[in-house]
Amino acid sequence: MTKSKEALTRFIREQRDEKNYSGLPLKGVRVLDMSTIVAAPSAAMLLGDAGAEVIKIENPSVHDGLRAWSVVEENGIQPYYAVIGRNKFPVTINLKSEDGKRIFFKLISQTDVFIENLRPGSMEKMGLGADRMLALNPGLIIGKVSGYGQTGPYAMKPGFGTLAEAFSGFTFLNAHPGGPPTSPPLALADFIAGLHLAFAVVVSLRSQRRMESGGQVIDISLYEPLFSLLGAEFLSYHLTGEVPQPIGNELRGAAPRNNYRTKNGDWVALSCSSQGTWERLAEAMGRPDMIKDPRFLTNEQRITTESRRILNETIQGWIGSMATEEFLDICTRLGLTSGPIPNMKDIGENKHYHERKTLIEIEDPATGIMLKMPDIAYRMLGAPAKIRFAGLPVGSANEVIYQDLLGYSAEDIERFKKEGAI
């Protein structure tokens, strides 16, 4: 059952209390997140995890599209927004309204970081360009995310993660030999761009002072962060002139490394690409002769096409003769680097995930339903990051932010609503 508006307002007011930020490394930093879907919002999410106060701006009539992804019909939970909208206080502003623009600039004047992902030039067309914001707040750090960056011949092209993954070269390489290029089953380019933006913001904060100095404009494209992770692939092409081709689940520079199936049909990952682990694998398979075989003697010999074929056939034959637990027990005993390939159900039941607290259980502030989601992916002694609450409903922080932070009266807010400014 959805909580009352009054109860949700009390919750938001309590969450803005300074005690909830105690010990968090970005305590005192304020972020305005006016972005949508995944890339830029995930950067704001990471900053919020670390203790920044994140105010999420949405258009009153066109909300963040992420709210519509995979909504659970029985209870209305928005799983993607619950995760990426966490630790954010949602407000609504109509930037086509003069009152809306005044509210926006009042927020900007009290903010450290502003994040947006509109098409290049859109902010300027609305009279909200970086120059104007920096004149008002010389310490403002502005993060801009777009498909192809703010400059270049493709700057005005529509930018989506799927296109960025393709343009980066990742999709071409993400295939089995002879198979079709394969897009990842997640917003890979978006999340990697978000990580880079969050890093750039934290770097910029080192020399920033709100309203005083250190203003910055950060230009992040969706394709370049992912392309940078393929750097060795491009350098290899540059040095040899040979275009790297898809190699499936293997590693171009080392072997053996692949996914194999056990006797009972489970998949396991195996990477014995260092000399020591390869030799232990050969001994475990009962094939010590392969260690001295010229075809497998060194990594350079093992990565040739024919050597890979023989290795994969031999390893699959050995692994396929055993039940999963038997194989994994052998790997543990002999120090072979292999492990299971779990699905989400397996992860939910895995004791390591539970004992390490990789998953967090947290109450949905709007409904009271308990949600289980990935916890923050890093740990810090003394200055921990923290998921304080899951994503909140559209505009649920309007009264709190506009009254408590900006000083507007209840009458002002009611007027803004009637006039369509919020």
What is the C-alpha to C-alpha distance for residues 367 and 359, in angstroms, rounded to an integer?
A: 20
For 344-389, the pLDDT digits (tens) are 999 999 999 999 999 999 999 999 999 999 999 998 887 689 999 9
The rounded mean pLDDT for the chain is 96
Homologous superfamily (CATH) of 5-229+354-419 is Crotonobetainyl-coa:carnitine coa-transferase; domain 1 (3.40.50.10540)
* pLDDT in the model for residue 383: 64
Strand 30-33 with 338-340, pairing: unpaired
What residues act catalytically? 190
pTM of this prediction?
0.94
Q: Collect contacts of 313-316 with beta carbons under 8 A, ≥24 apart.
A: 314/285, 314/287, 314/290, 315/256, 315/258, 315/260, 315/270, 315/281, 315/285, 316/260, 316/261
The answer, yes or no, to whether residue 193 has pLDDT greater than 80, is yes
In the chain, residues under CATH classification 3.40.50.10540 are 5-229+354-419
* Model confidence band, residue 163 (pLDDT cutoffs 50, 70, 90): very high
Q: Give me the pLDDT at residue 101, please.
A: 97
As given in the structure block, the two tokens for residue 224 are: 């370049």
Strand ordering across the sheet containing 141-146: 88-92, 53-58, 30-33, 113-116, 141-146, 216-221
pLDDT above 70 (res 1): no
Domain 257-261+267-340 class in CATH: alpha beta
Residues of the chain with CATH 3.30.1540.10: 257-261+267-340
Structure confidence at residue 229 (pLDDT): 94
pLDDT tens digits for range 5-47: 999 999 999 999 999 998 899 999 999 999 999 999 999 999 9
